[in-house]
Structure 1
Amino acid sequence: MPRNIEQSFMKALFHGVIAEEMLFPFPEMSSDERENVSLLLDSVRRFFGANVDSAKIDRACRIPPEVLSGLKDLGLMGLQIPAQHGGAGLSSMAYARVMQEVGSLDASIAVTLGAHQSIGLKGILLFGTEEQKQRYLPRLATGEHMAAFALTEPGAGSDAAAVKTRAELSPDGKHYVLNGSKIWITNGGFADVFTVFARTSALEEGKKPRLTAFIVDRSAGVKSGPEEHKLGIRGSSTTELFFEDVRVPVENVLGEAGKGFRVAMEVLNSGRLGLAAGSIGACQTLVRMAIDRVQERRAFGRHIGGFGLIKDKIATMLAQIYALESMTYLAAGLIDAGVVDYSLESAICKIVGSETLWSVANETLQIAAGIGYMQDYPYEQLLRDARINLIFEGTNEILRAFVALSGMSGPGRALEDVARAMREPIKGFGLLSDFAIRKARTVLGRERMTRTHPLLSREAVLFEEHTGQLVSITEAVLRKHGRDIAEMQYVQKRVAEIAMDLFGIAACLARTTRAIERRGEEGARREIDLTSIYTGMAQRRLKQLVADVQDNDDELRKAVAVRAYADRAYPFDVL
């Protein structure tokens, strides 16, 4: 099996290949870019300190125009747009670090910026023609124009294939005429440029209309509905969009006609890292608040920070954040290194980022106790703001299914090829030989990690062992279920969570190895300790997940749910 299989660390791992060259050395920004980002972050902190009142934004349900104007003046609207188009041209790692900072300061602003450039204009960056880039990017870079991403519809959220908005080619072939609507569009109330997905006529008779991506100007006739009233991120704009005979020039097709699904997936793959980075920042703010609170709140004559259960919460939060940060910047570094396929890594970062933030927000409010529930304090707002991350840019349930099915697709194809080769052994001799070699390697000894520091040998062995289990489980469930694996969501969830923990351990090992090599054991003591705690937590989860593959109550749970659907309620009452 080639070492750079499918150019994805996680897809290689599903084959049992530990592509260490993609982990080591742990990526970092160049010294020049690090210096530039540090200067930008100083400006961001000063601006937010002087001009941004998050509680006021939450109450007013809007970001003041002067704040948006100031963000534009700081250059925050064109962070990843190349310099030749008026942007800052930041790397993925640098962009993530800026979004991390903004996420630590205000969630509504982070969402607004992310909707503009992580997904709103990203399609133009990834798929735009040179003419499209020259026409749109300069004004998007300055914030003169703002962008939004319009995919979701009332019946098409996670299921992008259910999009009903239509775009029909005009008789003269010069325009598409767009009709339909989109819901829950961030920046929908004020964006000037939209990446819109619509059905276009099939190229072949009898085929289903294909999804096509368009760059659509508001001035073409796009209408916005009223602002939605939301649980959190209340300062961000979220509206419905309406397209009634909106004429879009054919030159505004983004990518190829009929290839819009690929555009949507690539944009979301990229955008999910921005969300993960923002989650890191919010986690850092929360854990700082938690640490302050445990040293001021007293119970039984002493600070609650002295109690074991509180120390456990703080240590767990720190280990979770360290792993999330390591995963996110490893994934961003892979993009900067030119890795083409980072879909699994970005999906994992989004899942782990949103769930880590939700856990940290919940535990911080618990530590705050009574004041955490009161609107006079910031805890409850931060909890409300955190909740959306588990839903948008792909629900975590859908992304778990994606991680599992996408990861297993490579081994699945290999098994199909082997089955075919066994029917034609002469033609398939080479393939069978490759398969036999891989199986022999699995039997004789697992793939090894050779570049982790010796101080992390215990954690490295755990990673190796569970990588082998991922491969064995993948092969076993594919043999058992075949193509029906697409319906086996309990299996998908377990496989995805094994993969997620393995990526977390790998990222921590790479980052902590770099820290030890640079600062020695004592200098890297805190990284070593957090890696140990995270790996221990992951090991306990992994043991349970592996056991549950064989011994579970999946069918019983399905039956209970089906009976509840018939009852339409909880079925018991003590009366």
Structure 2
Amino acid sequence: MFVFRGCQIRTSVWWSLRKRLSHRYASSSAGAEPATVDEDKSQDLGPTAKPYKQPFLKNLFIGKFDQDFLVYPEVVDLDELRQRTIENINVESSKDEGAVTRMSVQEKVKNILKSNVPIVSDSETKDSERVKIYELMDTDLQTALLMETQSIVISIISRFGSTELKAKYLKKLMTGEITGAFAMSEPCTGSDPSSLESIADFDENTESYAVSGTKEWVTNGKNADVLIVLATTDAVHGQPRREVTAFLVEKGSPGIVKSDQESRDLRDCGLVRIQFDKTPVPESNVIGEVGQGIEVAARCISLNRYFVTSSLLNTMKKIFNEVHRCIKSRKQYPIPLKDCELIQYKLSEVGTKIYALESLIYLYTGMIDSYNVEMMVESASLQLFCYESALETVKICNEILGGKSYDGNHHYMTLLSEIQGLILASKTQSILQLFISLCSIQYAGVSIYEMVRRNRNPLDYPGFVVKRLLSNRRQDNDSPKLELQLYMNLHPSLKDAAEVLEYAVLRLKYAVEVALSRYGSDVVNKQVDLCRFADVATEIFAMTAVLGRASRSYCTGIRFCDQEMLFASAYCLGSLQRIRLKINQVIDGGKISNDTSRLKIGTEIFNQGGYFLEHPLVRNIK
């Protein structure tokens, strides 16, 4: 045992030294991003500025992989953080003392805001520390959703609000003296900010706007003191149509009518429908500039949702452990249920999902803490992975528990119900998928514009096209040449898994080139393929996290490091099948994926007014 552990340590030291040397002397191999810093941007930010990095996920769409992100970040001293949390932050403020003294969700939120918990990023608290603090708080899902809503309001006012608005509202919001809500969704347009029907007409005599329209599913709208409302205003930037603007509307303003919206899953979150009937809003309460509402909405999508993600992670662990305890006490046929192969397989699926989500959260926060890097797309990707993992956990655990999962007296059912409600209240996966893909495709289109232009005009560039055909032979056979050497940044035991990661990066790049060459600018209307791109990019992000974490754990001898290697390899091999299917569906242009037939069926359903096929017992000839 001691000899084995000594060999592990020696291998770890050797590999760590090799990794550092390779970073120091690495050159820009094909597609690989060396550990370089944009000197101009770093110098502009001051002598203690973080190194500048290009956006990680956007670069994947052009085949660039920054290998520095395979080095799992270590930016927080956990023991020091725990001690500081105990001394300065009342993490128990959000927990119930028992059934007799049970607090409402609103009371929990106010207690958290008064307990010195860091709500938004600041110079004193790292993002990794914030997430771990939220984990230690272990808030329930409804409290987390309300805290996230408060954080969104604070972030928007901090980022876009005038000096007057900041002075008037920020301190009160951060201390819990007042609470806020964000109103964007509408009955007919959903959460699409570019199609809003609410209007805000400017009155020059009163120098104020009159807001009219209906907002629904407004989280905390019932109790909020201030509302951030998106509405359309007259175009002021030479646009042919009205533009979206954000307003701050105070509670009690004339013309506001609220009605409760019943939600079995989120009963305590104050979900309401709000009708505005020419509600007056002073011009000074415009958030940002007139016409900047789309940017405000994008800020909400890309905002770091640490309360919700950490709460979902904790809830998934609770559900997983509860299912484990339930299984251990039961028998199936002649053997204990825990020895059943199918049960073990399903639990391993949930376990690897939890491991991947936990790894991804702290890779994401470590990237923010360590580098000056744009994380807008990465934030949406983290949310997408978190929501999908939580839903998958619910589905698998339902299958394992069977009827017990629907026992109304069982705490498990409440957790499952709250997970589903919270995800729907946050945003749908499709919105996140389209946001990820559209931002990244736009970035890729600028970088590979010339190549796409030549591919779309083959008669004008025959030599270029022939060369491309020859160079892409291996890609056409689903066997790209692995030349990024990503395994050089990981422990040798993870080489096979690292090759899966590299395969995914190269295939994503090729699929993006094929889609842009095939559709041109019309690619933005190919939502099915865009969702596939987002799923693949998110899988790559998660694989990067699990491989970096497992390699670091094994090299430093963390407890259960052998099992971490197994978890990481299993996750990557499972991702391979999903990625291969989605990429091939994009490349084949609708043949393998059956997209053409499905889209025709969808058109017929709308043409015929719903399900229109005859009953199977109907006969034409009697």
Shorter-chain TM-score range = 0.7 to 0.9
Q: CA deviation at 1:473?
A: 0.8
Q: How far has the Cα of 1:135 moved from its partner? A: 2.1
Equivalent position to 2:610, from 559, 568, 573: 568
- Residue 323 of structure 1: which of 347, 353, 356 is its match? 356
The equivalent residue for 1:264 is 297
1:395, distance to aligned residue in structure 2 (A): 1.6
Query: C-alpha separation between the residues in 2 aligned to 1:33 and 1:132?
Result: 37
Match of 1:29 in 2: 76
Maintained 8 Å contact 1:186/1:236: yes
**Structure 1 residue 368 corresponds to structure 2 residue 396:** no
Please list the CA deviations of residues 90-149 of structure 1 after superposition, one character each: whole Å capped at 9, or x if unmatched.
4333333344456x55222221111111x2222013223444333212111121101111
2:537 counterpart SS class: helix
**1:466 is aligned to 2:504:** yes
Matches within 5 A, 1:160-309: 160-172=193-205, 174-204=207-237, 207-221=240-254, 223-300=256-333, 302-309=335-342
- Equivalent of 1:558 in 580, 599, 611: 599
One-letter amino acid of the counterpart of residue 452, structure 1: L
Gap regions ≥5 residues in structure 2: 1-30, 39-51, 457-467, 618-622
SS in 2 for 1:202: coil
Alignment of 1:41-60 (within 5 A): 43-45=90-92, 48-51=95-98
Q: What's 1:447 paired with? A: 484
Q: How does 1:116-131 map to 2 (within 5 A)?
A: 116-117=150-151, 119-131=152-164
Shift of 1:404: 2.2
Task: List structure 1 runs of 4+ shifted beyond 6 angstroms.
Answer: 1-6, 419-423
Q: Are residue 542 (structure 1) and residue 575 (structure 2) matched?
A: no
Any idea what SS the aligned residue of 1:216 has? strand
Structure 1 residues 263, 567: closer, same or farther in 2, change over 3 A? closer
Tell me the residue number matched to 2:129.
94
Aligned alpha-carbon RMSD (Å): 3.5
Q: Where does residue 144 of structure 2 map in the other structure?
A: 110
Give the deviation of 1:213 after TM superposition: 1.7
Q: CA deviation at 1:244?
A: 3.1
State which of 529, 544, 550 in structure 2 corresponds to 1:512. Answer: 550
Matched residue, 1:432: none
Judging changes above 3 Å, is the alpha-carbon distance between structure 1 residues 190 and 357 closer, same or farther for their aligned structure 2 residues?
same
**Residues 555, 379 of structure 1: alpha-carbon distance in 2 compared, 3 angstrom cutoff:** same
Are 2:564 and 1:530 aligned?
no
Residue 14, structure 1, aligned to residue 61, structure 2: yes
SS of 1:220's equivalent? Answer: coil
Shift of 1:512: 1.8
Q: Residue by residue, what CA displacement relative to the aligned partner does 1:292-336 show, whole Å, maximum 9, x if unpaired?
A: 111122333554222111111211111001111112222223333
Contact 2:153 2:182 in 1 (8 A): yes
- Does the 8 Å CA contact 2:515/2:523 hold for their aligned counterparts? yes
Work out the CA distance in 1 between the residues paired with 2:227 and 2:240: 27
1:255 is displaced (CA, Å) by 2.1
1:538, distance to aligned residue in structure 2 (A): 0.4
1:365, CA displacement in angstroms? Answer: 2.8
Q: Deviations over 1:225-258 (max 9, x none)?
A: 2221113122211001233333333333222221
Q: 1:41 to 1:571 in 2, by over 3 A?
A: farther
Which of 470, 474, 478 aligns to 2:516? It is 478
What is the CA distance between 1:177 and its match in structure 2?
A: 3.0
Shift of 1:562: 2.7
1:275-424 equivalences in 2 (<5 Å): 275-300=308-333, 302-337=335-370, 339-418=372-451
Shift in alpha-carbon separation, 1:215–1:53, aligned structure 2, 3 A: farther
Q: 1:423-434, aligned counterparts within 5 Å?
A: none
Query: Hey, what's the Cα distance between the residues in 2 that align with 1:315 and 1:40?
Result: 38
- Rg (Cα) greater in structure: 2
What is the deviation of 1:371? 2.0
- The answer to whether the 8 Å contact 2:357/2:386 transfers is yes
In 2, are the aligned partners of 1:8 and 1:339 still within 8 Å (CA)?
no
Q: Measure, in 2, the Cα distance between the counterparts of 1:391 and 1:474.
A: 30
1:441-476: CA deviations, max 9, x gaps?
x98763232322222211111111221111111101
Do the aligned partners of 1:351 and 1:390 also contact (CA within 8 Å) in 2? no
- CA spacing shift, 1:233–1:96, aligned 2, 3 Å: farther
Residue number in structure 2 paired with 1:132: 165
CA contact under 8 A between 2:142 and 2:422: conserved in structure 1?
Answer: no
In 1, distance between residues paired with 2:361 and 2:210?
40
| Greater helix share, structure number | 1
Measure the CA separation in 2 of the matches of 1:135 and 1:439: 60
Structure 2 Cα separation of the partners of residues 567 and 420 of structure 1: 41
SS at match of 2:485: coil
Distance 2:304 2:70 in 1: 22
- Output the amino acid matched with 2:233: T
Amino acid at match of 1:571: L
| Count of aligned residue pairs for this structure pair | 552
1:517 positional shift: 2.8
Q: Please name the residue that 1:431 is paired with.
A: none
Tell me the amino acid that sits aligned with residue 291 of structure 2.
G
SS of residue paired to 1:213: strand
Q: TM-score, normalised by structure 1?
A: 0.86
CA contact (8 A) 1:6 1:12 kept: no
Match of 1:141 among 174, 177, 188: 174
Call closer, same or farther: CA 1:340–1:266 in 2, change over 3 Å. Answer: farther
CA apart distance, 1:192: 0.8
Q: 1:494 to 1:421 in 2, by over 3 A?
A: closer
Which amino acid in 2 is paired with 1:8? P
Q: Deviations over 1:335-376 (max 9, x none)?
A: 334545222211221121111111112222332232211101
Is contact 2:434–2:534 with CA below 8 Å preserved after alignment? yes
Say if 2:108 and 2:143, in contact at 8 Å, map to a contact too: no
Q: Check whether the contact 1:361–1:383 (CA below 8 A) recurs between aligned residues.
A: yes
> Could you list the per-position Cα deviations for residues 210-230 of structure 1 after superposition, in whole angstroms to 9, with x for gaps in the alignment?
112222221434735222111
**What does residue 27 of structure 2 align with?**
none
Q: Which residue of the partner structure matches residue 429 of structure 1?
A: none
Partner SS for 1:180: strand
Deviates more, 1:316-325 or 1:362-371: 362-371
Offset at 1:52? 6.8
TM-score by length of 2: 0.80
Aligned residue for 2:182, secondary structure, equals strand
**Deviation at residue 188 of structure 1 after TM alignment:** 0.2
User: Residues 11-56 of structure 1, C-alpha deviation per residue, up to 9 Å, x if partnerless?
Assistant: 11111111122442425335587236753899545752414799x9
Q: CA deviation at 1:563?
A: 2.9
Paired amino acid for 1:94: E
Structure 1 stretches lacking a partner, 5+ long: 58-62, 84-88, 424-434
